[in-house]
Structure 1
């Protein structure tokens, strides 16, 4: 159950020949995200378990999940953008049903991230799932 925005990313990745191009694309996705207001970059929105500074602020509208996120690391901002494409607009009660690991494996992210980045990515996914469950 992938969103159209995530499918667009997956299709783009299919056309990129090597990991370096994919890595650059992830960074570009992060750069394209709107910046998060520093006023909401507080302990309550901070994601623990990430080597970088990461913040996720949920927005629930009409029972659909959305969030704003930011990081002090470009690649992590890009990973947040990928997660946003995966989860934004999904009904809150279906967020927990998304197999994020399988979706990210389609992009090859599971093979090319350091252990530290992979742990941070899992922490972000878990935080998103908890935020959606709390909203549900």
Structure 2
């Protein structure tokens, strides 16, 4: 499966930096570039369960391809979620079900920095995306 353009950009950017400090800075920048989620989407119904930090997620199906938007108050989580969105936006439901989250963050060189709670939180976000796909549209 080929990667979406945003995911390729992320991969190139993260593979070009060597140190964890540079990766952390890049991670924060990705989070800052993520479009703000409208206040009306920051409701309990859009909160992802299983995250230590508050993460809101909305998804819309457009022409058979999913587009997700998310927000988090935590800077590190916002960056990680932004990278997850880069990996999944534009995928079909079937492609989304096949996303290998640990492999994606390993390719970015970030897997060692994912604490178990962050990893669980990102898995919860991906699970929420897959649940939305299973329902075929917005909640």
Q: TM-score range by the shorter chain?
A: over 0.9
2:15 is aligned with 1:14: yes
1:3-45, CA deviations, whole angstroms, 9 ceiling, x for partnerless residues? 2211111111111011111111111111011111121111111
Q: Distance in 2 between the 1:98 and 1:117 partners? A: 17
2:80 is aligned with 1:82: no
Q: Distance in 2 between the 1:109 and 1:126 partners? A: 20
> Post-superposition, which runs of at least 4 consecutive aligned residues in structure 1 deviate over 6 A?
none
Contact persistence 2:56–2:70 (CA under 8 A): yes
Match of 1:104 in 2: 105
Query: Which has the higher mean CA deviation after the structures are superposed, 82-91 or 124-133?
Result: 124-133
Match of 1:59 in 2: 60
Q: Distance in 2 between the 1:126 and 1:5 partners? A: 21
Match of 1:38 in 2: 39
What number of residue pairs does the alignment pair up? Answer: 136
2:116 is aligned with 1:118: no
Q: CA deviation at 1:71?
A: 0.3
Secondary structure class of the residue paired with 2:44: coil
CA RMSD of aligned residues (A): 1.3
TM-score (norm 1): 0.93
Q: CA deviation at 1:61?
A: 0.6
Q: Distance in 2 between the 1:98 and 1:118 partners? A: 15
Q: CA deviation at 1:48?
A: 0.8
TM-score (norm 2): 0.91
Unaligned runs of 5+ in 1: none
